[in-house]
Chain A
């Protein structure tokens, strides 16, 4: 076990994957000499050389498109998109090529590509640097989408993503990069839980709180605060956003009867909507309250002085828990007719 930051854990995971498989190559803007704007790839070009860690021209479609060609040639590229809001130029290559090549070719062409996306807000940046675009990708079949919430998962799951024969979008909560945690670097990948699995972080009996990425830490704080008020919260770290590990969430909701989903991304057509609908379909009779979503607003990501109003925080999620628990909350006066 070693204590390391989230950022360092991803770096260590990348290093391990590169040591284990000479076909793993890293590609992205500023990832070589500089080590990435967040230093996630720090030192890797120096140790593995310019052919394993490529500084690419500034062209996101170009990065993903050439990575596909490298996959055809038997490589396992790991692409860094510098910031969430810069993934859109590559959208076509991701949605029309990366996601569909395996299906198109009846399984003959594999695209074992990993796309790393630093995402989410809370770092006081200008526009395009704080977005949560995951739902665009969970809506696209053929992709796997995961998000990590702690250094150990960051370390393990980057390796699982790279080893996976399907393309994986790996969403890294950039505001957690400096958080520290224990990481077992000797961990045997085959013994680690599948990257498709969700994880129950706290056992609870009153309400299930589902979060992923940056809000997992907030959700754990919510569990403590709610516990102080006598509410027992079961926090689930989703880990995999596509597919969602519904059996784990369902077992929890059958126990608690109440569900709150939190994410930074806007609400409309978001992951929370899908989870609420799926759980309603799966265990309607066990629900004692309609599922509650606590999400970013359906606005462009605001300028940084206002971002704390947009991002779900401890109090907003607690307010959502109160709604799910039929306790007094910000919408109580609406008498249930809250929309």
Chain B
């Protein structure tokens, strides 16, 4: 195993990353001050210009609302209404900053944690939690919001996004495919293969890696010895490392990468350095593997806090804005909760549905046999069929 004394603790490393890395892009410093970065500022003309107050208020609202959705889902899980939930707490800037940079005709392939991105895509809120209640294997119609069903196999979706991007190329369109994945995912072979394909074909795809420092219990230092962004360099893919808790840096970097792809400049890679403030999922206990101090450090870099400081410094964090955002959060949380509690239960025979798109003789027979099996309980009652319980129904 890795020698304890020779390997820097992830906490050490993350400090070093931010203080010493000249490539680490920040447009809002921890005190909320707007830092000038000429190469990126041109992507924030709307934020810095006349209508800036409105844009910033929108980003702020989104971040607060998705945090509230996330909290509500965690609460629903604790109350036994959901089987599991993977919180995004702490990653709001990374998800809203990138999600809000997208065009409607772009197409997102994500993992399970990108519910903030799904929110930006306009998902029906009732559909986010279907999977986590165990009522279906997917929530929304991918073609309605141009976002694929979230992927649980780590890294697999990166290849799907590149294939989709190849299709965009064949069609002569100027939309972009996005791959969202985590720091842990970068070690999967699929992710490397996807960068090979993307680079070779110069496909219009954006690899958006949220480095939240943890893959369940494994620190990012176990996945890589260099920054994750540098990895992309090895494939010849333009890459940038941004402060993932700075919504403006994420927004600007994403806009730049999308524009490059639209102009025929091929793939880009963004490493958004952020932090998973919650457990991996509601089934996880992070106290077994990480220091409370580390969480405290990152709590000070909370992305919503950062934006609030900025809004304050510009005199934009008005009582009216706070109240409006709070009201919206309450409303959304209510919709989510109600949606979960009133969610229709699936039917027993749904278990056979959609295995194939075309009729299949083998499966039809199994289905038919199971239908008969269930029917005997309806007609005769459980005991008449010779069983005590009537199965698990």
Binds B, one of A107-115, A146-154, A210-218, A309-317: A107-115
CB-nearest residue of chain B relative to A247? B361
Task: Find out whether the CB atom of B363 lies under 8 angstroms from the CB atom of A243.
Answer: yes
Task: Find out whether the CB atom of B354 lies under 8 angstroms from the CB atom of A102.
Answer: yes
In the bound complex, how far is the Cα of B169 from the Cα of A245, in angstroms?
41
Which of A51, A68, A109, A110 contacts B159, CB < 8 Å?
A68
Binds A, one of B45-53, B133-141, B253-261: B133-141
A225 interface residue per 8 A CB criterion = no
Task: Find out whether the CB atom of B353 lies under 8 angstroms from the CB atom of A72.
Answer: no
Task: Find out whether the CB atom of B160 lies under 8 angstroms from the CB atom of A62.
Answer: no
**A67: which B residues are within 8 A, CB to CB?**
163
Q: Check A61/B358 contact, CB under 8 A, given A70-B166, A93-B159.
A: no
A164 interface residue per 8 A CB criterion = yes
In the bound complex, how far is the Cα of B360 from the Cα of A164, in angstroms?
12
In the bound complex, how far is the Cα of B164 from the Cα of A109, in angstroms?
13
A103 interface residue per 8 A CB criterion = yes
Binds A, one of B2-10, B92-100, B148-156, B206-214: B148-156
Task: Find out whether the CB atom of B138 lies under 8 angstroms from the CB atom of A104.
Answer: yes
> C-beta contact mask, B172-190 vs A, less than 8 Å → 1, else 0?
0000010000000000011
Task: Find out whether the CB atom of A142 lies under 8 angstroms from the CB atom of B355.
Answer: yes
Task: Find out whether the CB atom of B153 lies under 8 angstroms from the CB atom of A97.
Answer: yes
Residue of B107, B138, B160, B196 with most chain A CB atoms under a 10 A cut-off:
B160
A268 interface residue per 8 A CB criterion = no
Task: Find out whether the CB atom of A75 lies under 8 angstroms from the CB atom of B167.
Answer: yes
**A68: which B residues are within 8 A, CB to CB?**
159-160, 163
Q: List which A40-84 residues lie within 8 A (CB) of chain B.
A: 51, 56-57, 59, 61-62, 64-75
A125 interface residue per 8 A CB criterion = no
Task: Find out whether the CB atom of A69 lies under 8 angstroms from the CB atom of B166.
Answer: yes
Task: Find out whether the CB atom of A106 lies under 8 angstroms from the CB atom of B357.
Answer: no
Task: Find out whether the CB atom of B156 lies under 8 angstroms from the CB atom of A75.
Answer: no
In the bound complex, how far is the Cα of B354 from the Cα of A71, in angstroms?
17
Task: Find out whether the CB atom of B149 lies under 8 angstroms from the CB atom of A69.
Answer: no
B contact patch SS: helix
Q: Check A104/B159 contact, CB under 8 A, given A56-B197, A59-B196, A62-B194.
A: no
Q: List which B192-246 residues lie within 8 A (CB) of chain A.
A: 193-194, 196-197, 200
Task: Find out whether the CB atom of B193 lies under 8 angstroms from the CB atom of A69.
Answer: no
Task: Find out whether the CB atom of A92 lies under 8 angstroms from the CB atom of B156.
Answer: yes
Task: Find out whether the CB atom of A61 lies under 8 angstroms from the CB atom of B190.
Answer: yes
Q: List which A87-127 residues lie within 8 A (CB) of chain B.
A: 89, 92-93, 96-97, 101-110, 112
> C-beta contact mask, A242-260 vs B, less than 8 Å → 1, else 0?
1111110000000000000
In the bound complex, how far is the Cα of B163 from the Cα of A97, in angstroms?
14
In the bound complex, how far is the Cα of B77 from the Cα of A123, in angstroms?
58
Q: Check A61/B189 contact, CB under 8 A, given A102-B354, A243-B360.
A: yes
**A141: which B residues are within 8 A, CB to CB?**
355, 363
**A165: which B residues are within 8 A, CB to CB?**
357-358
In the bound complex, how far is the Cα of B193 from the Cα of A65, in angstroms?
9
**A72: which B residues are within 8 A, CB to CB?**
107, 142, 148, 160, 163-164, 167
Task: Find out whether the CB atom of B164 lies under 8 angstroms from the CB atom of A70.
Answer: yes
In the bound complex, how far is the Cα of B161 from the Cα of A71, in angstroms?
11
B323 interface residue per 8 A CB criterion = no
Task: Find out whether the CB atom of B355 lies under 8 angstroms from the CB atom of A65.
Answer: no
Task: Find out whether the CB atom of B193 lies under 8 angstroms from the CB atom of A73.
Answer: no
A95 CB to nearest chain B CB (Å): 10
A319 interface residue per 8 A CB criterion = no
Which of A57, A105, A196, A242 contacts B138, CB < 8 Å?
A105
Q: Check A69/B164 contact, CB under 8 A, given A61-B189, A243-B363.
A: yes
Contacts A62-B193, A72-B148, A246-B361 supplied; 20 other A-B pairs, CB < 8 Å: A61-B189, A61-B193, A62-B190, A69-B109, A69-B160, A69-B165, A70-B163, A70-B167, A73-B171, A92-B190, A102-B355, A102-B357, A106-B354, A107-B357, A108-B141, A141-B355, A142-B355, A243-B361, A245-B361, A246-B362
Could you pull out 28 A-B pairs where Cβ atoms are within 8 angstroms?
A57-B197, A57-B200, A59-B196, A61-B159, A62-B159, A62-B190, A65-B163, A65-B193, A65-B194, A69-B164, A72-B148, A73-B164, A75-B170, A92-B153, A92-B156, A93-B156, A93-B159, A97-B153, A97-B160, A101-B149, A102-B355, A103-B137, A105-B149, A110-B357, A141-B363, A144-B356, A164-B357, A247-B361
Q: Hey, which bits of chain B sit against chain A, CB under 8 A?
A: 107, 109, 136-138, 141-143, 148-149, 153, 156, 158-171, 177, 189-190, 193-194, 196-197, 200, 353-358, 360-363
- In the A-B complex, list the 9 residue pairs whose CB atoms are closest, starting with the nearest: A69-B163, A65-B159, A73-B167, A66-B163, A243-B362, A62-B193, A69-B164, A165-B357, A107-B354
